[in-house]
């Protein structure tokens, strides 16, 4: 039963992220999408593994570290260095580093911490 909640949340968040990627501009695309992406990663992981880790903060912290790594790969020019030309992959991985993205990821992981703490 736990998994179904996370599966549904993942599907809804994925649809929202796709719509943001296709149609949104400005604040929504630049910030709301980044806040939601870490929550999406959280719900996807919970869909696969609903069991709580031994420490409540582990999963959200790992997701935040992953998001930061991806963002720093953008600073390094990952897509260009590896010749990734596929438009969808470039959108998923990202091509431009931004401090604001790191802040957005941090804001987005807060609800994940709260959910984990309350579980």
pLDDT tens-place string over residues 4-39 = 999 999 999 999 998 998 899 999 988 999 999 999
Place of tokens 């296709």: 22
pTM of structure: 0.89
Supply 30's token pair. Answer: 């630049």
Phi, psi of 62 (to 5 degrees): -65, -40
Confirm if 45 and 67 have CB atoms less than 8 A apart. no
pLDDT confidence of residue 53:
76
| pLDDT of the residue at 50 | 67
Rg over alpha carbons for the chain, rounded to the nearest Å, is 15
pLDDT of 63 > 80? The answer is: yes
């Amino acid at each position: 039963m736990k998994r179904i909640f996370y599966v549904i949340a993942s599907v809804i968040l994925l649809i929202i992220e796709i719509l943001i990627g296709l149609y949104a501009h400005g604040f929504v695309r630049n910030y709301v999408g980044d806040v939601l992406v870490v929550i999406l990663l959280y719900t996807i992981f919970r869909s696969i593994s609903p069991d709580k880790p031994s420490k409540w903060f582990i999963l959200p912290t790992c997701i935040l570290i992953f998001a930061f790594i991806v963002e720093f790969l953008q600073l390094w020019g990952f897509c260009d260095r590896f010749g990734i030309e596929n438009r969808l992959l470039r959108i998923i991985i990202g091509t431009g580093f931004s401090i604001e993205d790191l802040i957005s990821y941090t804001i987005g992981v807060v609800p994940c911490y709260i959910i984990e703490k309350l579980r």
